[in-house]
Amino acid sequence: MHGREKTKEGSSLVPGCTSMEEKPGQPAPEETPSNAPPGTVGRELFGYVGIEAVLDQMRIKTMKTGFEFNIMVVGQSGLGKSTMVNTLFKSKVSRKPTGPGYEERIPQTMQLQSVTHVIVEKGVKMKLTVTDTPGFGDQINNENCWDPIVKYIKEQYEKYLREEILISRKRKIPDTRVHSCVYFVPPTGHWLRPLDLEFMRRLSKIVNVVPVIAKADTLTLEERAEFKQRIQEDLKAHGINVYPQEDLDDDSDDRLLNKKIRDKIPFAVVGADTEHQVNGKRVLGRRTKWGIIEVENPAHCEFPLLRDLLIRSHLQDLKDVTHNVHYESYRVQRLNESNQLAPSPAAGLLGKHEMESNL
Ligand SMILES: Nc1nc2c(ncn2[C@@H]2O[C@H](COP(=O)(O)OP(=O)(O)O)[C@@H](O)[C@H]2O)c(=O)[nH]1
Ligand SMILES: [Mg+2]
């Protein structure tokens, strides 16, 4: 399975073509020896092909169509999920103007709700959607508290699948699939609770899970480091494969880069949607008795690492893994089920009741 298929400049586009240094415009040598090994014929015949021009075409196309990226936040009530959604949108991703000391009232989240912002930067358009989920953990019995979230994630795969199997497909299928699910761990400083382990175990099978230590300002730096290590051990011991999944690293470059990230996960984050004046600059932060904790300052917390991973360095990889691994296993499972249930695959897939009973 190829989770991380990336197009690297000048590399694997056409494996046999090594004649990039040949000058454009030069006539291709025609005299291909008849005993040439198979595979060299095309190269000899075409000479310089100019395949790297495809990179410009891809860039222009992406700029024109833009791209969609969907994040979901999950975790117990009161851990700062809704605040984090606001932090993401108010931080340098797309700074919304707010007055000093401005505080937006965050109502308690009662149902799944999505906020979408279209961000245009240097001509590239990104539609960023963050889905906020109601917290859990308030009930005495938390059994099956993951059901609505798992259902939502699968419903988005189902929507995509239904568009994909249509005979006349849309040129671009709207993508509401969750590309990354940020899981908030309470800052207890102890081990992971069985509830969090079970929740993440289930989620990690269907979506890219990025765990974070919530409200990290309530822990000292030493406590954060210790807790982080315990969580890493706990996840490993329980076989929970969070993002970036080790078994999906394609090559040594990937391994090197992702190892650094894996060592830092879960990020110890602080959320805030209030701006303060610090040294003449407006910063997003939380006022505490020790001063202002700046959420965008890497010396204060790891929110910048989370944002960079999601929106900068790993955005395309999160999308690739969602499509090639998570969506793919959903698709295979659904088509297998339909084949067993119905004489024709499409007939099975299009049965509404069947879909609902499967979610
Ligand atoms: N100390 C601290 N408090 C936070 C942080 N993020 C949010 N809060 C506060 O925690 C409370 C619950 O936040 P909310 O975003 O509604 O949590 P949700 O239930 O997970 O959506 C609010 O009073 C927030 O101001 C944080 O990083 N640190
Ligand atoms: Mg909330």
Domain boundaries, the chain: 19-51, 65-329
pLDDT of residue 106: 54
pLDDT score of 103 more than 60? no
285 Cβ closer than 6 Å to some ligand 1 atom: no
Q: What is the C-alpha to C-alpha distance for residues 327 and 157, in angstroms, rounded to an integer?
A: 6
Q: Average pLDDT in the 203-219 region?
A: 97
Side-by-side strand order, sheet with 291-294: 275-278, 281-288, 291-294
Q: How confident is the model at residue 208 (pLDDT cuts 50, 70, 90)?
A: very high
Q: What is the C-alpha to C-alpha distance for residues 19 and 50, in angstroms, rounded to an integer?
A: 9
139 CA from centroid of ligand 1 (Å): 19
Ligand lying nearest the CA atom of residue 133: 2
CA 358 to each of CA 58, 199, 290, 330: distance values in angstroms, whole numbers, following the listed order: 38, 19, 52, 11
pLDDT of residue 269: 98
90 Cβ closer than 6 Å to some ligand 1 atom: no
119 Cβ closer than 6 Å to some ligand 1 atom: no
pLDDT of residue 33: 45
77 Cβ closer than 6 Å to some ligand 1 atom: yes
Closest to 132 (Cα-Cα) out of 64, 179, 75: 75
Between 171 and 236, where is the model more confident?
Answer: 236
Range from 60-74, 214-228, 256-270, 314-328 carrying the lowest mean pLDDT: 60-74
pLDDT of residue 60: 81
Architecture of domain 65-329: 3-Layer(aba) Sandwich (3.40)
106 Cβ closer than 6 Å to some ligand 1 atom: yes
135 Cβ closer than 6 Å to some ligand 1 atom: yes
Range from 29-43, 249-263, 300-314 carrying the lowest mean pLDDT: 29-43
pLDDT of residue 105: 52
pLDDT of residue 81: 93
Q: How confident is the model at residue 13 (pLDDT cuts 50, 70, 90)?
A: very low
Closest to 220 (Cα-Cα) out of 156, 290, 136: 290
Contact in structure between 81 and 184 (CB atoms under 8 Å): yes
pLDDT of residue 89: 82
79 CA from centroid of ligand 2 (Å): 8
Reduced to 3 states, what is the DSSP secondary structure of residue 275?
Answer: strand
Pocket-testing residue among 83, 87, 293, 300, ligand 1, by greatest number of atoms within 8 A of Cβ: 83
Between CA 214 and CA 71, with CA 207 as vertex, the angle to 5 degrees is 55
As a whole number, the mean pLDDT across the chain is 81
- 213 beta partners: 185, 268
What residue's CA is closest to ligand 1, atom 1? Answer: 215
- 130 beta partners: 71, 115
pLDDT score of 330 more than 70? yes
Ligand 1 atom, smallest distance to 271 CA: 27
pLDDT of residue 349: 55
185 Cβ closer than 6 Å to some ligand 1 atom: no
Closest to 110 (Cα-Cα) out of 148, 144, 142: 148
Identify which of 65-69, 101-105, 106-110, 316-320 has the greatest average pLDDT: 316-320
